[in-house]
Structure 1
Amino acid sequence: MKRKYFSSVAALLLTASILGACSEDDQTIEKGENAHNVKATGMPIVEESIQVDGFAAKFFASQNWNDLMLWDEYEKMTNIEVDWKTVQIEGLAEKRNLMLAAGDYPELFFASAFPKTDLIKYGQQGVFLPISDYIDEYAPNFKKILEEYPSVKKGVTMPDGKIYGFPAFYDPNFEALRAGTPWIKKDWLDKLGLEEPETPDELYEVLKAFKEQDPNGNGKADEEGWGTGYGINQFIGYLRGTYGLNKQGSMNINLDFKEGTEEFRFVPATDEYKELLKFLNKLYTEGLINQDIFTTEPHVFAAEASKGNFGMLAEVDPAELLNLDGYVGVPVLEGPTGERAYNTVSNGLGNLGMFVLTDKAKNPEAMVRWMDYFYGEEGSKMFFMGFEGVTFEEDEEGNFKYLETITDNPDGLNVDQAISEYLTWPGGYYPGMVRKKYFQGAEGKENSTLNAEKVLPYRIKDEDILPGLNYTLEENEKVSAVMTDVQTYVDEMTAGFITGNQDFSKWDDYKKTLDKMGLESYLEVAQGAYERSKEEE
């Protein structure tokens, strides 16, 4: 993303160095003016009710967050009323940035997806409060996550040693949310006497057969190969491990280590990436992947894919997404050098800035407790399942499921639309912890679980996943100055090589252009950030 930074970097870095020179034990944390009103445990959170100004991004325009069951019920539990102002997700970044620039911002931002650059910038300016000052005393659920998953603690901690945002966190034991391969039409394989592909070459042959041998038996050449509505990175992500890329996971998607070292290389400039693109070029030029992949939108592609003419789909289980049965997960492929790995995996840490408190917050202790509830079991259940007898029921085995009014809505609403009349999670923008037990999206269903189990033997090990790099303000300026243009160029050339608009004989010229754009300086900054993170362990 393109970001602009304030010019007072030197002063802010000086502030950071002063803060960094003091241990947290040496600092006296100032209590909020109403801290005496906050209970240490249990509900309500505050003895006397309070009202707080909040801003949030929402997915459905029809939602009124000031009249939504989730927040109405939580207010009754906590004695805390949030006066919500909301914006559609599409307009979030502009609205959020304008509010901060004008100084006209609320006490808290929820589901507002602040990037790391904003967390450190506004944190060191004092606009965002360091929630790390309150975690020990007021956030037992989040504290437990940090203790259990050190890489998460490293990921959320900024270079000044502070934590400024509550993140989205996906339970690392929820495998279907972490790793899954594309989906292939099993009856087409059976009809043509084919096995599930195990290598890129076998995948090519399968897709070619799908397109040319009439597996649906209607006598028309209407079958398609592999499709997605979410862009070419869906395909690249599946194949990274197959071609020996990203052996440190996907938290730093453009970086992995040179073999046998801890020195970064730039993934899109490697020979392995070139070979991956050559394979996708072969598929594209022979019409085996959807030709509008670089321009189509998800809803447009979904309408086309729902006809059932694609032999392979890159999204979540087509049975859940498109009401198309008969698809199974494709195996992780063995690459040309014998690699068989699935590496596009994170440590479970999503956006870091999904909940922040500002310097206008009069009740920081209460609001840290308010947010922390959603990292615990009961909070997760309420956030994703809602309310027993209204949105869900529990069976004798202790499993939770939505009521038929949600899953088979009498007004013809799909699940996301129906549940959004009570809850806010559809759309994927939220802080808190996602647990399989309470998550009713496609990834929580049996087919996705089977897909994830197929991937697991080849999935990158958790201990090998490198947390996201956190940069200082000065480093952020350097990275942004280089990578804004570099990423645009990489995306353009990736599309060019795949479509054939760029010949692979130009690969060396492509790499030279990257060097001229300052790639080496980016790698130096990234390496420095990595070395610093090791020293902090």
Structure 2
Amino acid sequence: MDKRIRKFLFLISSLTILSFLLVACSNSEKTGGNKKAEVPKSENAVDNYGLGDQFKAKDELTFTMTFSDHPNYPYKKDWLLLEEIKKRTNVNLDMTIIPMSDYAQKRSLLISSGDAPYIIPKTYPGEETPFVASGTILPISDYVDLMPNYKDKVEKWNIEPFLEGLRHDDGKYYVLPGLHEDVWPDYTLAIRTDIVEELGFDMPTTWDELEEILVAMKQAYPDIIPFSDRWTFSSTLNIAATSFGTSAGWGLGSALNYDKANDEFVFGPATEAYKQMLTYFHGLVDKGLLDKESVTQDDDQAVKKFVNGKSFVIGTNSQTIVDYRKDMKEILGEGNFAIKKIIVPGGPVGQVMGGSKLENGIMISAKAKDDPNFEALLQFIDWLWYSDEGQEFAKWGVEGVTYTKGSDGKRVLADDVNYVGLNPKGTKALNVDYGFSGGNFAYGGTTELLHSMFSEEEIEFQEAMHETKELILPDPPILYNEMELEQSTLLSTPLKDFVNTATYEFILGDRDLSKWDDYINELKNMGMEDYVELANKVYKK
């Protein structure tokens, strides 16, 4: 072969290999690779810090932190929580106190201005997105190798499928989420079980069975609309949607649902499943079984109807049912009523349950990585928020002061301490007076820890949900880049606003379900097809 030809072929071959390596390298960076971020050794970090180790800084440290201040248990600088954190970890927390109602807005201003504290808790997945491109918050997934308690729970509890939804187009995630050992179903419906028994029914297991009970209630008590809901009906739509094969209400999210059979996303509120769900609830309204005011009344109005015996079914969670029962004892009298959380009814796609093992979590300011005590900061967060000891401490407080623990491991609040009705005789509140079990620190943990503050009734509900329901895993993520995300948001915002309005109109009968095709055309005119096409293009990429 001619020498010049051999040289030419060699050059082409070399360029091909080089191009392949560059692409591979690029793709590795794009997906976050398996590369560990380099972190300078901190003199105040614990040497050889590992799973289950107590973190305690060698010298006293101060870390800055935002604090979402709840009006029911406002921040107190002399809380035992803060005193004990200092004692156990040698860390002071310099708090930026923000009223809960202003937290999201003021947090954004602090981050955008570059003045954010290092630790930014109470961040729900998705709220970090506006700050990713600017580089003002840390891609924390680069640093989790320095957090052994966090990593252990991710692996042991099979958290990875849920983390996929947190990742951005660079393959990294920017929020350290709260981690639960299992999915925690909380919201459902409360029902007057005394009325159910009086009418000769068992507890409903499907939405159709619930309708049968509502019909019987209406016949027996014609002056009452049996189902009058709270939370603008958004909670009920959320829990019902999963069993109808769609998403709605609080769970509408992007309004995109993953079609596994075709490996693509569809616009959920345009599907037959969504129409079927709306048809069901409109039927309840049409028969006088569901109060039209459910979508407009404030919570106090809905609760007042229920506790006064003017309705028999309402949305609830583990805390509100305690409140209902307390009010009903005062109004109706003990022994004159009985209520219970029902297992979320099954629907057309069966006995299924949505949910996540993740909870709100922590963003870390990007400037923290330049602090000489950055490694100690990561260890501190790992111990307080993710170790078994730290999670028990944040939830229950100090053994011998706020609670005691028996030889069987069961925790009991101290005689003078109350929390969510666990010890009604207690004169001090675990969260108000001591700072424990507050939303900035206490979330996530083992199922045993979660159940430790539940009533027997709530534990029974949790176990029944897990025994009778099949868990639906989260949809795969759509990893938009900054420009794609902006385009997606511009398309989705008016679409979702329209869907929320139309959903209520269909349920109430203000929009005729026979005109469903007109509704679909309105969605198309608003860019639904472009929105879905963009999502699938990014997903396939």
Mapped to 1, the partners of 2:199 and 2:58 lie a distance apart of 69
SS at match of 2:358: coil
Over the matched positions of the two proteins, sequence identity in percent amounts to 23
The answer on whether the counterparts of 2:394 and 2:441 sit within 8 Å (CA) in structure 1 is no
Mapped to 1, the partners of 2:131 and 2:309 lie a distance apart of 49
How many residue pairs get aligned? The number is: 492
Q: Residue type matched to 2:446 in 1?
A: R
The answer on whether the counterparts of 1:159 and 1:470 sit within 8 Å (CA) in structure 2 is yes
Q: Residue type matched to 1:435 in 2?
A: T
Mapped to 1, the partners of 2:134 and 2:526 lie a distance apart of 31
1:370 aligns with 2:380: yes
Which residue of 464, 471, 491 maps to 2:480? 471
The equivalent of 2:152 in structure 1 is 144
- Which stretch has the larger CA shift, 477-486 or 450-459? 450-459
1:527 aligns with 2:536: yes
The equivalent of 1:87 in structure 2 is 98
Which residue of 338, 341, 356 maps to 1:326? 338
SS at match of 1:209: helix
The equivalent of 1:57 in structure 2 is 68
Q: TM-score, normalised by structure 2?
A: 0.81
**Equivalent residue runs for 1:380-459 within 5 Å:** 380-404=391-415, 405-406=417-418, 407-408=422-423, 418-426=430-438, 428=439, 432-439=443-450, 444-459=454-469
1:356 aligns with 2:364: yes
The answer on whether the counterparts of 2:391 and 2:442 sit within 8 Å (CA) in structure 1 is no
Mapped to 2, the partners of 1:110 and 1:55 lie a distance apart of 7
The answer on whether the counterparts of 1:54 and 1:84 sit within 8 Å (CA) in structure 2 is yes
Mapped to 2, the partners of 1:236 and 1:28 lie a distance apart of 43
The equivalent of 2:175 in structure 1 is 165
Q: Residue type matched to 1:451 in 2?
A: F
Deviations 1:457-515 (A, max 9, x none): 552336x4435544322221122101111111100000111111111133212111111
The answer on whether the counterparts of 2:187 and 2:316 sit within 8 Å (CA) in structure 1 is no
**Equivalent residue runs for 1:90-169 within 5 Å:** 90-111=101-122, 113=123, 115-116=125-126, 118-119=128-129, 121-137=130-146, 139-148=147-156, 149=158, 150-169=160-179
SS at match of 1:37: coil
Q: Structure 1 residues 327, 467: CA separation in 2 closer, same or farther (over 3 Å shift)? A: farther
Deviations 1:272-331 (A, max 9, x none): 211211111122234322332222333443344333443223212565232267334435
CA radius of gyration, larger in: 2
- Which stretch has the larger CA shift, 19-28 or 293-302? 19-28
Mapped to 1, the partners of 2:382 and 2:233 lie a distance apart of 37
SS at match of 1:66: coil
Mapped to 2, the partners of 1:31 and 1:356 lie a distance apart of 17
Q: TM-score, normalised by structure 1?
A: 0.81
Deviations 1:161-195 (A, max 9, x none): 323221122321xx5x2366423222211211223
The equivalent of 1:178 in structure 2 is 185
Q: Structure 1 residues 448, 242: CA separation in 2 closer, same or farther (over 3 Å shift)? A: same
- Which stretch has the larger CA shift, 20-29 or 98-107? 20-29
Mapped to 2, the partners of 1:530 and 1:346 lie a distance apart of 22
SS at match of 2:296: coil
Mapped to 1, the partners of 2:37 and 2:452 lie a distance apart of 44
The answer on whether the counterparts of 1:182 and 1:238 sit within 8 Å (CA) in structure 2 is no
The equivalent of 1:206 in structure 2 is 213
Deviations 1:183-238 (A, max 9, x none): 32222112112233344443223113223414xxxxxx664422332222222223
SS at match of 1:171: coil
Mapped to 2, the partners of 1:259 and 1:28 lie a distance apart of 35
Mapped to 1, the partners of 2:297 and 2:427 lie a distance apart of 26
Mapped to 1, the partners of 2:497 and 2:462 lie a distance apart of 32
When the two chains are superposed, the root-mean-square deviation of aligned CA atoms in Å is 3.3
Q: Any stretches of 5+ residues in structure 2 without a counterpart?
A: 1-24, 329-336
The answer on whether the counterparts of 1:180 and 1:448 sit within 8 Å (CA) in structure 2 is no
The equivalent of 1:5 in structure 2 is none
SS at match of 1:184: strand
Mapped to 2, the partners of 1:28 and 1:194 lie a distance apart of 61
Q: CA deviation at 1:151?
A: 0.8
